Amino acid sequence: MPEKSTKEGTFEKLTPILLVATVILAFAVGILWQKVSTLEGGKVEGVAQPADVVPPPADGKLTEDQVKNIVPISDEDHIKGNKDAKVILIEYSDLECPYCSTFHATAQQLKDEYGDDIAWVYRHFPLEFHDRARPAAIASECAAEKGGDESFWAFIGGVFADQTTNLTDAGLKKVAANIGLDASEFANCLEAGNNDEKVENQYQGGMAAGVNGTPGNIILNDKGEAWLIPGALPFDSMKQAIDVALQSQ
């Protein structure tokens, strides 16, 4: 009986400590979840920006100086449409981000809606807490290297179609095989690591332009104006933003 009483007494003493620890842990998990959701949702807080990056105004329109921070479209980009289109949608995306998967379909819908008036550019922005985002981005560049831009778009579409299984090493190789790439050449490209720098450069370019969450979208018009639109906005909201860019004088 004394031994049992001692155990019960010890438990009673530890109970308040355990309760406090549980509350602290729950609070920490809640903050972490909120931060992840914020970054994945393309919000504009939560990631340290370079000191010379000025946040965009509430309406998203960038100043002339801020526009200069956007990396110009080049042959290095993956683009659907004509780079001389009236409006260019630059999407900074993360292949592990669920919001990016949703927005991918929205961006394709916008391209279908506006036809030749819009071009869609995809750039990499792998978030640090997504372990598979950067390997998947590098793999997509291998798809482009071995099969051209058509294979690149098919590859990221395949990854987004099932992020649960297609982000593993085996899953990425399966997606590559499904779009007709040579398995050996694709594997050799991954091992060589030649595309790591390109992914990092695009990430840094997004940071310099003011992007710090995914998807981070920039709308450019042929007058040199630009709008930073964070988050996976629905089709109607994106359409309104594009219409503003088209109609701007």
Pairing of strands 118-124, 87-93: parallel
The pLDDT value given to residue 60:
85
Q: What is the pTM of this model?
A: 0.78
Does residue 152 register a pLDDT over 90?
yes
Q: pLDDT tens-digit profile of 219-247?
A: 999 999 999 999 999 999 999 999 999 99
DSSP string, 137-149: HHHHHHHHHHHHH
Q: Label residue 177 by pLDDT band (50, 70, 90).
A: very high
Q: pLDDT tens-digit profile of 96-106?
A: 999 999 999 99
Distance CA 21, CA 129 (A): 25
- What is the rounded average pLDDT for all residues in the chain? 83
Q: pLDDT tens-digit profile of 42-55?
A: 543 334 444 444 44
Does residue 19 register a pLDDT over 80?
no
All domains of the chain in start order, with CATH = 64-247 (3.40.30.10)
